[in-house]
Amino acid sequence: MKNFIQFSPKGIYCIPGKFYLDPWKPVDYAIISHGHADHARSGMKHYLCHHYTKPIIQHRIGKDISVESIGYNDPIHINGVKVSLHPAGHLIGSAQIRLEWKGYVFVFSGDYKVDEDEISTPFEPVKCHTFVTESTFGLPIYKWQKNDVYKEQLTNWVRRNQENNKTSVFFGYSLGKAQRIMKLIEGVDEIYVHSAIDNLNKAIESTGYEIPNYHRIDWDNRKQMDGKIVIVPPALLGSNMIKKVPNAATAICSGWMQIRGNRRWKSVDAGFPISDHADWNGLISAVKATEAEKVYVTHGSQATFAKYLNEIGIEAYELKTEYGEEEKSETELNS
């Protein structure tokens, strides 16, 4: 891998290809795994991503950026390097980036989730020589339920709230989590979403992707939300705007809710450990499925996870990156 991949101060660099993977500093050519702010940053001269991700980064970074897109399992060649994108299951359009050069295969996973969620394209294991994995929830304490369990939990919570004349308010990131919540409670009752979520939904729908039916919140007519389902970004936690929601019962959907104290710390009524990242077992199964000879572990509990991989006979190293905060700011809140 010496003359193929370099871990540089700007990001992961493909030497013969002359491009970077999810760089955190401005470069000439960036291949982007998905639309979250810590992986898709402004300032790149040219972007390459999945078809579903293209309108997302145009919405977030700028309509006039230079960007091309390809589909899953639709390889192209860049300066002699075979490049292909493969489903990561993290959110709509998320991709693992596979690079092949002179018979050597390197895969950068970005962020991923191995359990199907019925809204994003399911994760696809990709065999390789070297694999770069996240470790956001790389501790044994994190273990998720299947999607049907969360459907039942969210539906029951909404129903109980309605019996008590409450409006169910879910907090979830505008990109990824919001769409997953919408799918989980689709058909339970009318859904109202914040403008930031609506704007991203429209960007996603421009590709032909179907989002569950919903309404954009009209804060001047907020009685329409009474007893219904409301989804807003986490930045609104504790805000005066939430106080305008009639009879609100609040809930956070996040993997961090696996630890009971987090719900009390956030001062919400309920917490559901619904994550768009792989849990401990998911990470292990994904790494094993690659059959990689060498694994690099990025953001999260990388020390613990890398140590465990070495203990079970998989050569692993910690890799310092600037990933990890999916939504550094909800910049769309005023749009």
Q: Are 17 and 31 in contact (CB under 8 A)?
A: no
Percent of all residues in the chain with a pLDDT value above 90, rounded to a whole number: 89
Residue 331: per-residue pLDDT: 39
Phi-psi domain of 227 (left: phi exceeds 0; alpha: psi -120 through 50; beta: other): left
pLDDT of amino acid 101: 98
Q: What is the largest CA-CA distance in the chain?
A: 64
Domain positions in the chain: 5-141+277-334, 147-272
Query: Which secondary-structure segment (H or E) carries 7?
Result: strand 5-8
Rounded-to-integer distance, Cα 242 and Cα 232, Å: 9
**Identical fold between 5-141+277-334 and 147-272:** no
Residue partners of 158: CB distance under 8 A and separation at least 6? 168, 185, 188, 189, 229
pLDDT for res 266 = 65
Say what angle helices 302-311 and 280-290 make with each other, to 10 degrees. 50
pTM: 0.94
CA distances from 71 to 75, 111, 195, 205, 213 (A): 8, 18, 28, 16, 26
Q: Which CATH architecture best describes the domain 5-141+277-334?
A: 4-Layer Sandwich (3.60)
Residue 225's SS3 state is helix
Annotate 35-102 with DSSP letters as a single string: SSTTTS-S--SEEEEETTTHHHHHHHH-TTS-EEEE-BT--EEETTEEEEEEE-SSSTT-EEEEEEET
Question: Which CATH number fits the domain 147-272, given the four candidates 3.40.605.10, 3.10.20.30, 3.40.50.10890, 3.40.309.10?
Answer: 3.40.50.10890
**Chain centre to alpha carbon of residue 314:** 26
User: Which pLDDT score is estimated for 263?
Assistant: 55
- Which is nearest to 90 in space by CA: 179, 167, 24? 179
> Which tokens sit at 186?
């689709």
Question: H or E stretch including 284?
Answer: helix 280-290
Which pLDDT tens digit goes with each residue over 272-331? 999 999 999 999 999 999 999 999 999 999 999 999 999 999 999 999 999 986 654 443
**What is residue 288's DSSP assignment?**
H
DSSP bridge pairs for 191: 229
Helix (H) or strand (E) holding 119: none
H and E: helices and strands count for the chain: 7, 19
Pairing of strands 167-171, 229-232: parallel
Along the 335 residues of the chain, how does pLDDT read in single tens digits?
A: 779 999 999 999 999 999 999 999 999 999 999 999 999 999 999 999 999 999 999 999 999 999 999 999 999 999 999 999 999 999 999 999 999 999 999 999 999 999 999 999 999 999 999 999 999 999 999 999 999 999 999 999 999 999 999 999 999 999 999 999 999 999 999 999 999 999 999 999 999 999 999 999 999 999 999 999 999 999 998 888 888 898 999 999 999 888 765 655 568 899 999 999 999 999 999 999 999 999 999 999 999 999 999 999 999 999 999 998 665 444 333 32
The vertex-118 CA angle with 204 and 126, nearest 5°, equals 90
User: What does the pLDDT read at residue 239?
Assistant: 87
Q: Are strands 270-272 and 294-300 parallel, antiparallel or unpaired?
A: unpaired
